Structure 1
Amino acid sequence: MSGFFSKERITAGPNYNRWLIPPAALSVHLCIGQAYAFSVFNEPLTRVIGIQEALPEDWKLTTIGWIFSLAIVFLGLSAAFAGKWLEKVGPRMTMFTAACCFGGGLLISAIGVELHQIWLIYLGYGVVGGCGLGLGYVSPVSTLIKWFPDRRGMATGMAIMGFGGGAMIGSPLSVALMNFFSSDTSTGVAQTFAVMGTLYFISMVIGSLAIRIPAENWKPAGWVPSEKPKKMVTQHHVHIDEALKTPQFYLLWVILCFNVTAGIGILGQASVMIQEMFKGGISPEAAAGFVGLLSLFNMAGRFIWSSASDYIGRQNTYFVFFALGALFYSLLPSLGQQGNVVLFIAASAVIMSMYGGGFATIPAYLADIFGTKFVGGIHGRLLTAWATAGILGPVLVNYIREYQIEQGMAKADAYNFTLYIMACLLVVGFICNLLMREVHPKHHLKADTAGNGQ
């Protein structure tokens, strides 16, 4: 069995069509992107016993909220700790393991709902499923970078756009399945988990079977690496463990963390925020449309910004993210006070496009700085910044807002201070990006030779 999953077994021949790789990556990322749609289960899970309405013995919303948080934490942890293993065994084994974890996690969660044991859902979706998220997130990305050395940003954007768009499939599918399975004795959540776990497992396994890696020193037909390397694009490679000894890794960690913290702060409270900042002017239905628009810009930004980074450079792309982001965050309170809904929505949409673009551009940035050989493992370790931001962003927004309201501040003004903090975080990110330099040669692999494509 190990031979079937080995890197030698999936090394492509010289005439293999590299454009077959993005669909394999998307078959995984569109599945694990369901995590962004988990909130559709929150309300039905609060009435698993009551069915029509929540009873005292039903789970509270605060209890259920930990399911998603655990999944994101274990996404970051699994991606970080499995980095070396990914580079050793290759993407097929890693993607197959991700399929087992994510699909299996949903099946364990289905049992947890049926038995009304919250710890089983924490274990299933949070821990086991979260590990599937982390492994499934990093493995196709590193493979795409190696297949598209000429278009690294576009390649990573294609896959990570799929993660952002997974909710657009997962959300309506979840609702449709719950409606189909719901009855007088069931909310349909357990059956929905079971069906989705099976479907996602099949799709992710197909992706793992279709994935291929290029042969050593492979290059796209007609592509010749520039004899004069671009600034901030290395022709060498840095080992995973060695990358942790460089200041560049920690600068990129802060860059990703603060970009995500700022974006997730808006994304997590978008509906409530726009209704409270424009009191009486925005209906719940319009607020839901605002959230949908932000999701579209989040997804589109992953492909558009990462593709643009192939032309303007990764460092310049992040300069745009931080400069525009700081400006727009600073403007949002004024736009709210002026009642300018159109500009408020437009600024928020651009912010969300850069939030998604930051996710998609960071793997190519890592490949530029550390080389492509160990980029999957390095990317995995950097994703601990995402796990940190997933806690930091909501905490900044929710707790500061709550404190200010308790002090007598109007709800419409309670977000202003937080938005200014987000702008300051982006200024810090701008400075970290400004400090980025090429890695010192002492960190390069000793066996490196210039121009090695692997």
Structure 2
Amino acid sequence: MTIPSHPLRAGVCADGIFHGWLVVAAAFLITLLGFGSAYAFSTFVEALQRDFSATRGAVSLVFSLAGFLYFGFGAVSGPLADRYGSRRLALTGMLLLTSGLALASAAQNMTQIYLAYGLGVGLGIGCSYVPVVGAVQRWFDRRRAMASGLAVSGIGVGTLLVPPLASALIDAWGWRAAYLILAAGVAVIGSAAARWVENAPQDRGLLPDGARGAAPASAESRPQPADLPASAAIRSRAFALLYLGCLASAFGVFVPFVHLVPYALDHGIRPGLAALLLGAIGVGSTAGRYLVGALADRLGRRASLAAMYVGMAAALALWGACGQFWTLALFALAFGVCYGGWVALLPAVVMDRFGGRHISSIIGVLYTSVAFGTLIGPVAAGYAYDLRGTYALPIAASAAANLLAAAITGLLPRQRNR
């Protein structure tokens, strides 16, 4: 038996675990904390409305501002991660998120909530999300969609765990204490997880997927995409179609994260049960990230992405017909599966098309489309409710937007062998 001159070049760490899975674990924890804190906002809506005498549209703007920043800022954090490393950006993001939650707990008016939560949470997730997701793509080839799904399943688990936790904290000690406790958790766990993030396997003398030898095992059987510069990728037709599809979908996809709990309360469902509906989205989202990612590696990522848009449209249409807890829970589960699949597939599709050297930069620019949709969709839904006293119009518009996204994604050219 020949002993490698450099043990780590075999693709595993000294303890026998391929280091890429540690990067996946770090991304899982960072997305859990970030998006769990963000999506728990729905449980704070009623308390903020009451304490600051605000309309539902005005309160919805807090989430939309944060969402705009955490997706839009990826256009900045992505190139910074490509240049300076993902770990630094991840740690900065966790510190900003901690500060935003802590400052929100001391806010005395809605303007301070906008500044503390909107800027702190928005920039915190914006600094960390794209860099850690981009790093995961570089560590895997054959199992890229699966690894990406596992990494971003933290979003689903965070949506499952954090909103019910926040609701219980609000009931016990009030919304200010709830924000402080969340801030403490992010500070401790998030900062520790950031230390596991690393940009690429080559930095450790490793290979993607833990392959042995000078090249990945699939290198001869699977043609690899060229590593396009970010500027060339962004000018391509494929990128334009991906961008338009994400933009259309994002107008509706984040409406439930703000308005599902208020919708349930309007239908007489108790606050504790209403918060569990967000948890149901989290359950479905986690399942979607695991299952869809693995299936897409076999069935095709482009077609699977289009299917996720169709699934979200169908689930949103179901939402408009729901009024009981169990029917809303079914909606939440179905929507969560497709939403989770969408989030898991996007980075993998980008990697397939454009290569990995500038992946964080390309994903960052792509996510500005989601930023604009997030900024407009939940706020528009809130003001539509203020005017009409019903969510019928925004729910229908959200479903139609996702059907449009599916049609646009179907126009993506098939992947050619390079």
Fold-level match, TM-score > 0.5? yes
One-letter amino acid of the counterpart of residue 297, structure 1: G
Aligned partner of 2:139 among 126, 144, 147: 147
8 Å Cα contact 1:263/1:352 also seen in 2: no
Shift of 1:423: 4.2
8 Å Cα contact 2:146/2:297 also seen in 1: yes
Paired with 1:24 and 1:40, the residues of 2 have a C-alpha distance of 26
C-alpha spacing 1:260/1:200, structure 2 compared with 1 (3 Å)? same
- Provide the residue aligned with 1:236 in structure 2: 226
C-alpha spacing 1:60/1:85, structure 2 compared with 1 (3 Å)? same
C-alpha spacing 1:188/1:12, structure 2 compared with 1 (3 Å)? farther
- Provide the residue aligned with 1:432 in structure 2: 408
C-alpha spacing 1:439/1:247, structure 2 compared with 1 (3 Å)? farther
- Provide the residue aligned with 2:160 in structure 1: 168
Aligned partner of 1:109 among 75, 88, 104: 104
8 Å Cα contact 2:164/2:279 also seen in 1: no
Asked if residue 99 in structure 1 is aligned to residue 94 in structure 2, the reply is: yes
- Provide the residue aligned with 2:82 in structure 1: 87
One-letter amino acid of the counterpart of residue 240, structure 1: A
Q: Which runs of structure 2 are paired with 1:69-88 in the superposition (5 Å)?
A: 69-88=64-83
Q: Give the SS at the match of 1:215.
A: helix
Shift of 1:175: 4.5
One-letter amino acid of the counterpart of residue 12, structure 2: N
Q: Between Structure 1 and Structure 2, how many residues are aligned?
A: 397
- Provide the residue aligned with 2:190 in structure 1: 204
Q: Give the SS at the match of 2:222.
A: coil
Which stretches in structure 2 are left out of the alignment for 5+ residues?
Answer: 1-7
C-alpha spacing 1:175/1:274, structure 2 compared with 1 (3 Å)? closer
C-alpha spacing 1:324/1:127, structure 2 compared with 1 (3 Å)? closer
Shift of 1:299: 3.1
Shift of 1:285: 7.0
Q: Residue deviations 1:275-314, cap 9 Å, x none?
A: 88xx79x777765554543332133223322222111111
Asked if residue 15 in structure 1 is aligned to residue 8 in structure 2, the reply is: no
Q: Which runs of structure 2 are paired with 1:164-313 in the superposition (5 Å)?
A: 164-175=156-167, 177-178=169-170, 182=173, 187=174, 189=176, 191-212=177-198, 213-215=200-202, 218-219=207-208, 220-221=210-211, 223-229=216-222, 234-271=224-261, 290-313=277-300
One-letter amino acid of the counterpart of residue 40, structure 2: A
Paired with 1:70 and 1:214, the residues of 2 have a C-alpha distance of 35
Paired with 2:246 and 2:118, the residues of 1 have a C-alpha distance of 23
Aligned partner of 1:377 among 361, 378, 381: 361
8 Å Cα contact 1:102/1:131 also seen in 2: yes
Paired with 2:328 and 2:53, the residues of 1 have a C-alpha distance of 36
Q: Which runs of structure 2 are paired with 1:361-440 in the superposition (5 Å)?
A: 361-394=345-378, 397-398=381-382, 405=388, 415=392, 418-437=394-413
C-alpha spacing 1:272/1:380, structure 2 compared with 1 (3 Å)? same
Aligned partner of 2:116 among 124, 140, 151: 124
One-letter amino acid of the counterpart of residue 243, structure 1: A
Paired with 1:340 and 1:66, the residues of 2 have a C-alpha distance of 27
Asked if residue 358 in structure 1 is aligned to residue 342 in structure 2, the reply is: yes
Q: Give the SS at the match of 1:359.
A: helix
- Provide the residue aligned with 2:33 in structure 1: 31
C-alpha spacing 1:75/1:13, structure 2 compared with 1 (3 Å)? farther
C-alpha spacing 1:202/1:150, structure 2 compared with 1 (3 Å)? same
Identify which range, 157-166 or 261-270, moves more after superposition: 261-270
- Provide the residue aligned with 2:4 in structure 1: none
Which stretches in structure 1 are left out of the alignment for 5+ residues?
Answer: 1-10, 48-53, 442-449
8 Å Cα contact 2:311/2:338 also seen in 1: no
Shift of 1:172: 4.2
8 Å Cα contact 1:256/1:358 also seen in 2: no
Q: Residue deviations 1:91-138, cap 9 Å, x none?
A: 11111111221112223334x43xx25544333221133111111211
Q: Give the SS at the match of 1:82.
A: helix
C-alpha spacing 1:146/1:418, structure 2 compared with 1 (3 Å)? same
C-alpha spacing 1:148/1:283, structure 2 compared with 1 (3 Å)? same
- Provide the residue aligned with 1:445 in structure 2: none
C-alpha spacing 1:193/1:425, structure 2 compared with 1 (3 Å)? closer
User: TM-score w.r.t. structure 1 length?
Assistant: 0.75
8 Å Cα contact 1:13/1:215 also seen in 2: no
One-letter amino acid of the counterpart of residue 431, structure 1: A
Instruction: Please provide the CA RMSD for this pair.
Output: 3.5
Percent of paired sites with the same residue:
23
Query: Which has the greater radius of gyration?
Result: 1
Q: Give the SS at the match of 2:211.
A: coil
Paired with 1:289 and 1:206, the residues of 2 have a C-alpha distance of 29
8 Å Cα contact 1:260/1:355 also seen in 2: no
- Provide the residue aligned with 1:60 in structure 2: 54
Q: Residue deviations 1:349-388, cap 9 Å, x none?
A: 3233212211121011110111111111211121112222
Paired with 1:175 and 1:12, the residues of 2 have a C-alpha distance of 48
8 Å Cα contact 1:229/1:235 also seen in 2: no
Paired with 1:256 and 1:420, the residues of 2 have a C-alpha distance of 18
C-alpha spacing 1:258/1:193, structure 2 compared with 1 (3 Å)? same
C-alpha spacing 1:61/1:168, structure 2 compared with 1 (3 Å)? farther
- Provide the residue aligned with 2:129 in structure 1: 137
Paired with 1:159 and 1:260, the residues of 2 have a C-alpha distance of 21
Identify which range, 82-91 or 383-392, moves more after superposition: 383-392
